[in-house]
Structure 1
Amino acid sequence: MDQLAPVIAASVNAGTPLLLAALGLLINERAGVLNLGAEGMMLVAAIVGFAVGYQSHSPLLGFVAGALAGMVMASLFAWLALVLATNQVATGLALSIFGTGLSAFLGQRFVGLALPNQASAIPWLSELPFFGPALFRQHWLSYAALLLCGAIAWFLYKTRAGLVLRAVGEAPESAHALGYSVRGIRLAALLFGGACCGLAGAYLSLVYTPMWVEGLVSGRGWIALALTTFATWRPARVLLGALLFGGVTIVQFYLQGIGVTIPSQFLSMLPYAATIVVLALMSRNPDWIRLNMPASLGKPFRPGSI
């Protein structure tokens, strides 16, 4: 049990950026927009958040800057995909490539710099046997991500605004005919998704590492995209998937620590291999995915065409 508690704590820590990014992407896709630029948004947010946090000595300002950087990247995608009606898949891939290069350029002077550890704990609860070190010594953003998951579930299924968002993702022409601004709603969804991806990227560079190196995100943006499909676009399942993939990420370090004689390259492959396996298993039943997937996902909307 003493060995299990640190593994659980590390899994929650590793799953937090996946949860934040996947929740933002879930809102995007519920509105009918497929943004494959999560990796690039997270990278830019990671370096911007780290730079601001390092120079201001305020991690909070770093998180704010990271969220804003993610929103700026999302607004660029929105201009291309919503206003110019470019192909969403190609635009998202271009955004990811652009973000990778931009983050490497902006981060040259910050490579190797480190921030102090931001360990925190909930008073009294953190002293509980097993549960204290396992669950109640996380960064505050980990708990905020859990609250955000519940808030998004309530928003989507219990509010009129959530119903409108889902309607835009299912039948944008009908929503437009009823007087709703499809582009405006999709823009708001993209900005929210950008802010979530920005927080995820800033968490990686300010808390999880905490330092900046080129390519810090290491494919987590793509895993977050896979999580939305794995969760069939439901917030509670996104939470489960984020913790699962966070645990797989930590298992590789745990196995290396106890001296398992497996090449480290194979252990490093575990999170990505698990992603491929999950998607391969889900693709065996395309009808099930089609029933849960927003009907207009990835399809451009042109108001003048109806």
Structure 2
Amino acid sequence: MDIMQILGLVIPAAIFAAAPLILTALGGLFSERAGVVNIGLEGLMVMGAFTAIITTLTLEGMGMGGPVVILLALVISILIGSLFSLFHAVASITFRADQIVSGVALNFLAVGLTVFIVRLLYNKGQTDYISNRIYRMDVPLLSDIPFIGPLFFSSAYMTSYVAILLAVIVYFVIFYTPFGLRLRSVGEHPMAADTMGINVNRMRYIGVMLSGAFAGLGGAVFALTVTGNFSGTTIVGQGFMALAALIFGKWNPLGALGAALFFGLAQALSITGQQIPLLSDVPPVFLLIAPYVLTILALAGFVGRAEGPKAIGKPYIKGSR
């Protein structure tokens, strides 16, 4: 196996694996830039994956099929993720509960609720498999470019390119629009933002709900591309890896994009490692744990130098310093 074959195996798999992490990390960015810690990203991904599969199975049962089913599943997952994030928003913003505890509760609630509904609907621990999924495709024209085309634009999922495009859009929104300025201000100095007439709590609610929307989309993309069904173990650690990518990327959309691609590469190597000569002799268990070990090492090496928004995790009480 030559170098081009190895790259052709690893790079598409890395971009594919990174897409749900990119989307979920962008969601976490909106919440944490607004000053609300959101470790409930895992639970929000669970809700997105659950909603996408249940919606697809329901529409298939009605005789529907094709891209419209996928589109509806993604849209409904975004809406449900956004609504489910309100549990965290109300607890942490309105009632000023501990944001870490609220996020943990959100994760437990998502898994428990979805597994209960699945058992109620299907009398077993997992759903049936869907027929309409997101499949690989060659990007017209771009896949014909020598060297680059086969690596980046052949046998690819369109959701991967949508995730990368959204990272660029979010970067522009956060740093070059009035909305982004207001969002960052309530995460850095909420009292000053309040003095300037910005409704701090409303902006924080918007940030948390956007985190639910993006994480719900991330979970839906994972379910519709990777698993094809839903169970209590469909989302296992991806939400925490996305949170790690956000911190590793220093709360910057492009930094989170790069970190998610790095973690996606680690996941790709764990999947394709047995086909690569240099890694074929490595015990499979080491390849499987590699993404999580790299996540820990990345955070251990960089979290100390990555400073988040100054007011992150601090409830705002009007008139207080």
TM-score range, shorter chain: over 0.9
What is the match of residue 294 of structure 2?
274
190-199 or 255-264, which moves further after superposition? 255-264
What is the match of residue 173 of structure 1?
191
Of the three residues 25, 28, 41, the one matched with 1:25 is 28
Structure 1 unmatched ranges of 5 or more = none
What is the match of residue 126 of structure 1?
143
Q: Give the residue type in structure 2 aligned to 1:224.
A: A
Q: Is the 8 A contact 1:75 1:191 kept in 2?
A: yes
262-271 or 194-203, which moves further after superposition? 262-271
Structure 2 unmatched ranges of 5 or more = 60-64
Q: Report deviation, 1:104.
A: 1.9
What is the CA–CA distance in structure 2 between the aligned matches of 1:131 and 1:101, rounded to whole Å? Answer: 44
Residue 54 to residue 6, structure 1, CA distance change in 2 (3 Å) = farther
What is the match of residue 172 of structure 2?
154
Matches within 5 A, 1:163-242: 163-242=181-260
Q: Report deviation, 1:59.
A: 0.9
Please give the secondary structure, in 2, of the residue aligned with 1:213.
coil
* TM-score, with length taken from structure 1: 0.92
Please give the secondary structure, in 2, of the residue aligned with 1:269.
helix
> Aligned pair 1:80/2:91, yes or no?
yes
Q: Give the residue type in structure 2 aligned to 1:95.
A: L
Q: Give the residue type in structure 1 aligned to 2:217.
A: L
Of the three residues 1, 9, 14, the one matched with 1:11 is 14
What is the match of residue 131 of structure 2?
115
Please give the secondary structure, in 1, of the residue aligned with 2:85.
helix
Please give the secondary structure, in 2, of the residue aligned with 1:79.
helix
> Aligned pair 1:97/2:108, yes or no?
yes
Query: How many percent identity over aligned positions?
Result: 34
Q: Give the residue type in structure 1 aligned to 2:95.
A: L
Q: Give the residue type in structure 2 aligned to 1:185.
A: M
143-152 or 240-249, which moves further after superposition? 143-152
Cα RMSD after superposing both structures: 1.8
Matches within 5 A, 1:49-64: 49-56=52-59, 57=65, 58-64=69-75
Q: Report deviation, 1:139.
A: 2.5
What is the CA–CA distance in structure 2 between the aligned matches of 1:47 and 1:121, rounded to whole Å? Answer: 28
Q: Is the 8 A contact 1:112 1:213 kept in 2?
A: no
Q: Report deviation, 1:241.
A: 0.7
Q: Report deviation, 1:27.
A: 1.3
Q: Report deviation, 1:129.
A: 4.1
Residue 38 to residue 173, structure 1, CA distance change in 2 (3 Å) = same
